[in-house]
Structure 1
Amino acid sequence: MILEIAYFAWVRDRMGVADETVDLPANVTHVGALVAWLAARDGRGQVAFAEPQRIRAAIDGVMMGHDAPLAGAREVALFPPVTGG
């Protein structure tokens, strides 16, 4: 499955890119598996996703949990928690 991933804030800084297109392995079927796969892929991902529970995700612009399926998704945005003020 081809997926566009957008990174924001310190996740972007740690990944070294704002976005990328990836071809996901068949076993990456939900957000949590995507984060785990990105963390295991290389050193940048390992640093960016060292605390996966802190990562927030939006699938095609809609906030989702780590158990959300990726089937049919075009884009996943990954970012740290945000505060307003």
Structure 2
Amino acid sequence: MSVRILFLGPLQDLAGKQAAEVAGPLDWNGLLAVVGNEVAEQLRQERVNVACKGRVLAEKTALLAEDGDEVALLPPVSGG
């Protein structure tokens, strides 16, 4: 089993892929380690959110994804 990471919007461009499969469990530090430096730099910014199991985390550094979970990396949303 593994954790699926989804890169959305501009984060997909930085990662160079739509998704990645990594061994679980996965915590915040593990996430930063596997997504690459450019994506990790973006994730550290307050305006970028992380969702796990379909729910946006109030505190993304509290991430704990288990085998079979999906983690979505959500760039800031603009619009009007």
- Which structure carries more relative contact order (alpha carbon 8 Å, separation 6+)? 2
* Aligned-partner Cα distance in 2 for 1:82–1:53: 16
Q: Within 1, Cα distance between the matches of 2:22 and 2:44?
A: 22
Residue ranges of structure 2 left out of the alignment (5+ in a row)? none
In structure 2, the partner of 1:47 is 38
| Contact 2:53-2:70 at 8 Å conserved across structures | yes
Encode CA deviations 1:52-72: one digit per residue, 9 max, x unaligned.
322311112110132132236
Q: Amino acid of the residue matched to residue 38 of structure 2?
A: V
User: Who is 2:75 aligned against?
Assistant: 80
Cα distance in 1 for partners of 2:22, 2:63 equals 18
Structure 1 stretches of 4+ moved >6 Å: none
* CA RMSD between the two structures: 2.2
Long gaps (5+) in structure 1: 40-44
Cα-to-partner distance string for 1:12-44 (whole Å, 9 max, x where unaligned): 0010111121124x6x4x2x22332125xxxxx
Structure 1 residues 73 and 2: alpha-carbon distance in aligned structure 2, compared to 1, 3 A threshold: closer
TM-score by length of 2: 0.73
Q: Percentage identity across aligned positions? A: 22
Q: What count of residue pairs does the alignment treat as equivalent? A: 76
